[in-house]
Chain A
């Protein structure tokens, strides 16, 4: 049976594994962190049969990790993506992705992920399970996280995940374009 930890325990563990010189103190990690957009990137890719597929990124997103000292089991991770910031390098593709066929940005302003629990998978890795809400539909999704850097009140995570877009009413183009969206994110957080 896989042992499950509250989010704070895993975050502490991940931070400790990177800070090789000295184990971080509780006060060094516990706190509230906000995402640093300039130091972060949020890429996605949708493979296609016999073609290059679609790769792109979101330029605007927010996020935070709240790690309360008194109640570690209530640690929370939240990522908010603004889909109207999608950028693929091709305006027509961007417009299509923003249209009602995919993100419907005229009516849906955000895509939100909120963690529900964290599961340790290695020395500096974990999976974060949570609810992803897009176009008014919410499903449980899992992302694989690796702590890439920590220290001086900052944390940096590399996050990967695969999401089935059909569940969110975004299955246009299948089976030409894969139903699976691969996410590849580098998320930097700074203590608030």
Chain B
């Protein structure tokens, strides 16, 4: 029940999926809000939360990828058409890539910032800066890249959610259900 099988996802993969999903949705929302609030005190606090959550997502993604490599990958449902399998695979790969690239570019942005604000993860421990050049130009570059990737991730998350809802409510297949219920290991 913990591990994946070829028939479906195990409990840990499902838990990681929904935990990361909730964090990513929250993180994107936080990123959009924190740059728009006029209260600078609130903005500062939100940015510190954004940094901490980003590093948590990075850690969870690494665990999830390691777990994925250590487990069988469930077979795509037989009802899926060829283009759906291809699209699904492409979106999943892009999402993995983005969820690694986003925290890394955010980390680089913080490290390149001329403000030099330290990162105290959830107020618990100090996280070092990357050895990137500190400059206004560097900070602008990483901000642009981080923001662009963020909007790309937002678009992919919307596509991902829409596809899952389509499978569940229109096609009535088991695509969403198998990310809700862990597979039970059958006796050989």
Contact = CB atoms under 8 A, between A and B. Distances in A.
A51 B126 CA distance: 10
B123 interface: yes
A4 B45 CA distance: 44
Contacts, number: 41
A187 to B, nearest CB: 30
Contacts of A5: none
B40 interface: yes
Interface residues of B, number: 16
Contacts of A176: 48, 117-118, 120
A151 interface: no
Given A100-B39, A175-B123, A51 B118 contact: yes
Interface string A112-153: 000000000000000000000000000000000000000000
B44 interface: yes
Interface in A143-188: 172-173, 175-176
Given A50-B126, A90-B115, A100 B120 contact: no
B120 A52 contact: no
Given A100-B40, A100-B41, A172-B44, A92 B117 contact: no
Interface in B106-151: 114-118, 120, 123, 126, 128
A51 B116 CA distance: 7
Given A175-B120, A175-B123, A176-B48, A96 B40 contact: yes
A72 interface: no
A90 B135 CA distance: 12
A173 B39 contact: no
B97 to A, nearest CB: 30
A19 interface: no
Contact of A99 (B40, B117, B118): B40
A44 B118 CA distance: 19
Given A99-B40, A101-B41, A172-B41, A48 B118 contact: yes
Nearest to B113: A92
B108 to A, nearest CB: 16
A172 B43 CA distance: 10
A23 interface: no
Contacts of B126: 49-50
A51 B117 contact: yes
Interface in A11-62: 48-52
Interface of B: 39-41, 43-45, 48, 114-118, 120, 123, 126, 128
Given A90-B115, A175-B120, 10 more contacts: A49-B120, A50-B128, A51-B117, A51-B118, A99-B40, A100-B39, A101-B44, A173-B44, A176-B48, A176-B117
14 contacts: A49-B120, A50-B118, A50-B126, A51-B117, A52-B116, A92-B114, A92-B115, A93-B115, A99-B41, A100-B41, A101-B39, A172-B40, A175-B123, A176-B120
Interface of A: 48-52, 90, 92-93, 96, 99-101, 172-173, 175-176
